[in-house]
């Protein structure tokens, strides 16, 4: 009989499951006498999770520069490699386990069934649906917009489940982008429209008041703040700051830079959900993947363009999210893409491919298309932020560029030709 010790298995969740049936053995792979199981027992334990969360790779078309004829390759990696990666075992152990899984593969060719385990097949992790968390967000949004306008415990609990509750592993994995002294970003930029030369002169004479955030009580509602709550909206470039105020051609705009005088922690929506999916042997794996898949599209939900006539209602959920992130999770603000600069990711854009993880970070050029909102003390001029006087400048808008794409309008009365 071929046995393997628990020390030769790297996956901690799988080890925990195997401890119940482990006994003293001589490991066929390291030669040590220790607690372990037979390869057959290991195969029985890993079989269901592998079938549930891994799949046989699809045939993918590939084209060369020399020919327009497609060649087909199976997506994924070999069964032996998948076993090494998922279970965290060495190749000899993976080879023994691979052989045992193929021997135990129970299928009936006479009934048209095909084997799942084959040495010449490639495999990859299945993509799992995020529908459960999509429903949580719909419930949360509906509650905030149509039932309770103020932050109640049920809405707070829904956000805790979606984003993460304080002190949980989910919250600890939230991506933090730091700005301020000794970081790559030390300035934030703001812009304001001037209705004419008189207003431009007023801004010039008192730039701190005119270009800083409005005082509490007089602030209008925005994407991340309720009416009367003063926050600091800034951009990581002057160009994006200008785009955000939607100026008209021929209009005068003022733009200035603010120094960030202490280190601030921002929730980075660009990398939300971009953490490894984890072990397929973790009992919470399916829920974790569902949540992370949803969070990767959360950036779009938060930063997507909103038509002006829909803003008061549609901003309610994002206003509550901002309050939760700052007041409950102790961030200073949020980093998010500018909808006016076209930087908001489309739904479905993901850093994960077939369950794998490819970490990414925004380039300096990409960061220029991002906004920051600061709340609480972090938004205060003179405490955290200071206007740099010699950066105040005025511009006349000479041209506005637009990009568009096809939009299909569904007509239920229209007869289809198909």
What is the per-residue pLDDT across 320-338, written as a single tens digit (0 to 9) for each?
899 999 999 999 999 999 9
Confidence at residue 356, expressed as pLDDT on a 0 to 100 scale: 45
Q: Are residues 52 and 9 in the same domain?
A: yes
Residue 282 domain flag = yes
The last residue of a domain, from among 125, 146, 169: 125
- 407: tokens are 């939009």
Residue 342 domain flag = yes
Residue 254 domain flag = yes
Q: Are residues 172 and 319 in the same domain?
A: yes
pLDDT tens, 125-142? Answer: 999 989 999 999 899 888
Q: Are residues 205 and 238 in the same domain?
A: yes
Q: Are residues 285 and 219 in the same domain?
A: yes
Task: Report the pLDDT averaged over residues 29-51.
Answer: 96
Confidence at residue 313, expressed as pLDDT on a 0 to 100 scale: 73
pLDDT tens, 151-160? Answer: 578 888 999 9
Confidence at residue 418, expressed as pLDDT on a 0 to 100 scale: 44
Confidence at residue 357, expressed as pLDDT on a 0 to 100 scale: 43
The 3-class SS string of the chain reads CCEEEHHHCCCHHHHHHHHHHCEEEECCCCCCEEEEEEHHHHHHHHHHHHHHHEEECCEEEEEECCEEEEEEEECCEEHHHHHHHHHCCCHHHHHHHHHHHHHHCCCCHHHCCCCCCCCCCEEEECCCCCHHHHHHHHHHHHHHHHCCCCCCHHHHHHHHHHCCCCCCHHHHCCCEEEECCCCCCCEEEEEEEECCHHHHHHHHHCHHHHHCCCCCCCCCCECCECCCCCCEEEECCHHHHHHHCCCCCCCEEEEEEEEECCCEEEEEHHHCCCCCCCCCCCCCHHHHHHHHHHHHHHHHHHHCCCCHHHHHHHHHHHHHHHHHHHHHCCCCEEEEECCCCCCCCCCCCCCEECCEECCCCCCHHHHCCEEEEECHHHHCECCCEEECHHHCEEEECCCCCCCCCCCCCCCCCCCCCC
Confidence at residue 163, expressed as pLDDT on a 0 to 100 scale: 93
Q: How many domains does the chain have?
A: 2
Q: Which has the minimum average pLDDT: 201-205, 329-333, 359-363? A: 359-363
The last residue of a domain, from among 106, 125, 144: 125
Q: Are residues 135 and 201 in the same domain?
A: yes
Confidence at residue 149, expressed as pLDDT on a 0 to 100 scale: 56
Task: Report the pLDDT averaged over residues 342-352.
Answer: 65
Distance in angstroms (rounded) separating the CA atoms of residues 151 and 156? 7
Q: Are residues 300 and 165 in the same domain?
A: yes
The answer to whether the pTM exceeds 0.85 is: no
Confidence at residue 417, expressed as pLDDT on a 0 to 100 scale: 54
Confidence of residue 358 (pLDDT cuts 50, 70, 90): very low
Q: Are residues 92 and 208 in the same domain?
A: no
Q: Are residues 137 and 113 in the same domain?
A: no
Q: Residue 333 is part of which domain span?
A: 131-396
Q: Are residues 321 and 267 in the same domain?
A: yes
The last residue of a domain, from among 103, 125, 147: 125
Q: Are residues 158 and 195 in the same domain?
A: yes
Residue 156 domain flag = yes
pLDDT higher than 50, residue 412: yes
pLDDT tens, 212-243? Answer: 998 888 888 888 888 888 999 999 999 999 99
pLDDT higher than 70, residue 91: yes
- Cβ within 8 Å of residue 50, ≥6 positions away: 82, 86, 101, 280
pLDDT tens, 148-192? Answer: 655 578 888 999 999 999 999 999 999 999 999 999 999 999 999
pLDDT higher than 70, residue 106: yes
Residue pair 143/156 in contact (Cβ under 8 Å)? The answer is no
Q: Are residues 157 and 211 in the same domain?
A: yes
Distance in angstroms (rounded) separating the CA atoms of residues 141 and 137? 6
Residue 405 domain flag = no
- 275: tokens are 């953490």
Say how many Å lie between the first and final Cα of the chain, rounded. 62
Q: Are residues 94 and 136 in the same domain?
A: no
Residue 121 domain flag = yes
Distance in angstroms (rounded) separating the CA atoms of residues 233 and 341? 15
Residue 112 domain flag = yes
Q: What average pLDDT does the structure give for the chain?
A: 89
Residue 411 domain flag = no
């Amino acid at each position: 009989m071929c046995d393997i010790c628990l020390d030769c298995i790297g996956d901690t969740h799988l080890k925990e499951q195997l401890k119940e049936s482990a006994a003293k053995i001589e490991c066929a792979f390291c030669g040590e006498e220790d607690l372990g199981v037979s390869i057959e027992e290991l195969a029985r334990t890993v079989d269901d999770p592998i079938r549930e969360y891994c799949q046989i790779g699809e045939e993918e078309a590939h084209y060369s520069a020399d020919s327009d004829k497609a060649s087909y390759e199976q997506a994924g990696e070999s069964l032996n490699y998948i076993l090494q990666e998922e279970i965290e075992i060495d190749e000899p152990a993976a080879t023994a386990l691979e052989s045992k899984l193929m021997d135990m593969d129970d299928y009936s060719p006479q009934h048209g069934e095909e084997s799942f385990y084959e040495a010449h097949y490639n495999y990859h992790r299945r993509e799992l649906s995020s529908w459960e968390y999509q429903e949580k967000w719909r419930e949360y949004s509906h509650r905030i917009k149509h039932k309770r306008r103020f932050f109640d415990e049920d809405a707070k609990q829904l956000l805790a489940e979606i984003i993460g509750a304080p002190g949980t592993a989910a919250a600890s994995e939230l991506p933090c982008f730091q700005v301020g002294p000794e970081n790559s970003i030390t300035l934030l930029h703001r812009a304001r429209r001037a209705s004419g030369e008189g207003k431009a002169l007023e801004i010039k004479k008192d730039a701190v008041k005119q270009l800083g955030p409005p005082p509490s009580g007089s602030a209008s509602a925005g994407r991340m703040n309720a009416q009367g709550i003063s926050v600091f909206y800034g951009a990581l470039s002057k160009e994006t700051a200008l785009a955000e105020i939607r100026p008209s051609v021929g209009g005068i705009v003022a733009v200035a830079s603010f120094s960030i005088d202490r280190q601030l922690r921002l929730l980075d929506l660009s990398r939300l959900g971009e953490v490894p999916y984890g072990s397929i042997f973790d009992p919470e794996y399916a829920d974790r993947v569902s949540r992370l898949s949803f969070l990767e599209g959360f950036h779009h939900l938060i930063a997507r363009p909103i038509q002006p006539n829909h803003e008061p209602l549609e901003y309610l959920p994002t206003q509550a999210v901002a309050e939760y992130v700052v007041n409950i999770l102790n961030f200073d603000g949020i980093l998010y893409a500018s909808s006016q600069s076209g930087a908001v990711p489309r739904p479905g854009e993901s850093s994960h491919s077939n369950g794998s993880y490819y970490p990414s970070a925004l380039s300096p050029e990409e960061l220029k298309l991002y906004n920051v909102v600061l709340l609480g003390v972090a938004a205060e001029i003179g405490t955290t932020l200071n206007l740099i006087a010699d950066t105040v400048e005025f511009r006349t808008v000479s041209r506005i560029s637009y990009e568009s794409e096809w939009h299909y309008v569904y007509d239920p009365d229209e007869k289809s030709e198909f």
